Amino acid sequence: MTNTPIRQLLPLVGPAEDLTAEQVTRYSRHIIIPGFGRDSQLRLANARVAVMGAGGLGSPILLYLAAAGVGTIGIIDDDRVEASNLQRQVAHGTGDIGRSKAQSARDAVLTRNPDATVILHEFRLGSHNAIETLADYDLVIDGSDNFATRYLLSDAAELLGIPCVWGSILRYNGQVSTFWAAPNDGGPGIVYRDLFAEPPAPGTVPGCADGGVLGVLCGTIGTFMATEAVKLIIGQGETLLGRILSYDALTARSREFALAPDPSRVPVTELIDYDVFCGLGIPEAEAMSIQRLPSPRPGGVASEGTRLEPTMEDTLLPDSTEWSAPELSDALAAREAGGASFQLVDVREAAEREAASIPGSIHLPLNDFFSGDAVQQLDQDVPIVLYCHHGSRSEYLLKALNQAGFDNVSHLTGGIDSWSLVVDPSTPRY
């Protein structure tokens, strides 16, 4: 436990006018709680909450906010339901596969509370639309699974002066906190940038799609987040502002860490390009400044990094750094027939490879490249083709290898997921 001063904030939302007789019956178990009463229920009815994501965290958040009587719920999600979502995203069912997640979640919300007003935002949230989207809400709950969106939401909430409830899950662990740049108790504000001033290098921290997550953990952390939102709305209890709650599902133990404002942090004055900030999709040297790769040994790459003359085998391979799944399939067939030579490298984690792999590939996890071990196991005179789950890690490594002097490297766009969808449906999707 920490010795962090407890932050009991004022109610975030004023009360609505009244409850109907049916609503009094529905929320009676709230109303009879000492200190909660009719007033708190009226505040929930008057609240407007935006939820980022209708996935693993968003599902329990949305369902419990609806059941609690939150009057207006915004759902921000541009994705569609897939079979691999159903293990943890409890707002959706088998019949929802292929549907918009936002629409499926809306139906789940209204099934539990037909009095709720649900607003759908079925687009990707970015710097160009975040302020406009969130301006009409009292708070935002961050159920996203990537760093760019987390920084975007925290920065937008800071500019709007609203709290942001944050949660994160991976494998068996989860964390929860509340960020608010200008809390209504007059105390110091704390935001996501006080926790992480800079994002990690791309590809170094897996998301749930790559690292996996225990399905029931989403419910545990998601309900913690929904509870934080309710406490903020009604002004009851001790919020997690200034504290990080960390939970380990394997041990059923939770720990608490103090989080103080970073005195060197410059207040946010505008939204930025968060993909660039997080080093996504760009060949910037800054993204690789953390760890440099060993220089390639002499052979197929000239000392100044220019490639030697292509061989006949090279001409049978796609002339691009981005291979589609059908192109990889054709190249593998040509290699099998002795007409092409290349190394197909799986850069995912070992547990992912156990779930599914592309035949004819070798396994060299991403982190092994940054330790130098993987490079020593490759024939640097032979073209290298990288693949991961969806293509983000392989693309990042491609650019890293290019910066280190390799120019005979390509990657599979869409990763093994595209291979399963387009080439070999027997390859399991996860």
CB atoms within 10 A of CB 169: 26
Judge whether 208 counts as a catalytic residue. Answer: yes
CA distances from 404 to 254, 285, 296 (A): 42, 10, 7
Which residue among the candidates 164, 208, 218, 278 is catalytic per the annotation? Answer: 208
C-alpha to C-alpha distance for 385 and 367, rounded to whole angstroms: 17
From 164, 218, 278, 388, active-site residue: 388
CA 341 to chain centre: 37
Which sign does the torsion angle of CA 357, 358, 364, 369 carry? negative
**Bridge-based pairing state of the strands 139-142 and 164-170:** parallel
Strand order in the sheet with 253-258: 117-121, 72-76, 48-52, 139-142, 164-170, 173-179, 243-248, 253-258
Closest CA to 109 of 149, 151, 58: 58
Annotated catalytic residues are: 208, 388
